[in-house]
Chains A and B, each alone.
Chain A
Amino acid sequence: MAARIEPIVGRYVHLTLGGRSCRVYFEEAGHGIPLLCLHTAGSDGRQFRHLMNDAAVTDHFRVIAFDLPWHGKSTPPVGWEDEEYRLTTAAYVEAVMTFSRALELDRPVVMGCSMGGRIVLQLALEHAAELGAVIGLEAADHQTPWYDTEWLHRPDVHGGEVCAALVSGLVGAPAPDEHRWETLWGYMQSGPGVFKGDLYFYRVDSDFRDRVAGIDTRACPVHLLTGSYDFSCTPEDTLRTAATIKGAEAAIMNELGHFPMSENPARFREYILPVLEKVRAARA
Chain B
Amino acid sequence: MIDRLPGLVNGDAALVRRGRFLTCDFLVEVGDVAYHVSVEQGRIASVTLGPASMRPWRFAIRAVEEAWREFWQPVPRPGYHDLFALTRFGHARIEGDLLPLMANLRYIKEVLETPRRLARSA
Stretch at the interface among A79-87, A167-175, A200-208, A259-267: A167-175
Q: Which of A151, A156, A231 has the most CB of B within 10 A?
A: A231
B6 located at the interface, meaning its Cβ lies under 8 Å from any Cβ of chain A in the complex: no
B105 CB contact (under 8 Å) in A162, A173, A228, A229:
A162
- CB-CB contacts of B1-26 with A at 8 A, as 1s and 0s? 00000000000000000000000000
Stretch from B30-38, B41-49, B52-60, B83-91 forming part of the interface with A: B83-91
- B103 within 8 Å of A (CB atoms): yes
How many angstroms from the CA of A158 to the CA of B103 in the assembled complex?
A: 7
Interface residues on B, range: 20 to 34
Within the complex, what minimum Cβ distance (angstroms) separates B9 from chain A?
17
Q: A156 CA to B103 CA in the complex, in Å?
A: 7
Q: Judge whether B117 is part of the interface by a CB distance below 8 angstroms.
A: no
Q: Is B106 a contact of A228 with CB atoms below 8 Å? A: no
Q: Is the CB of A169 within 8 A of B81?
A: yes
**Residue A102 is within 8 A (CB to CB) of chain B in the complex:** no
Closest 5 CB pairs of A and B: A169-B82, A165-B105, A165-B106, A173-B81, A231-B85
Starting from the known contacts A158-B103, A231-B78, 10 additional A-B residue pairs (CB-CB under 8 Å) come to A146-B87, A147-B84, A156-B99, A157-B99, A162-B102, A162-B105, A165-B105, A165-B106, A168-B82, A231-B79
Residues of A within 8 A of B (CB): 146-147, 151, 156-158, 161-162, 164-166, 168-170, 172-174, 228-229, 231
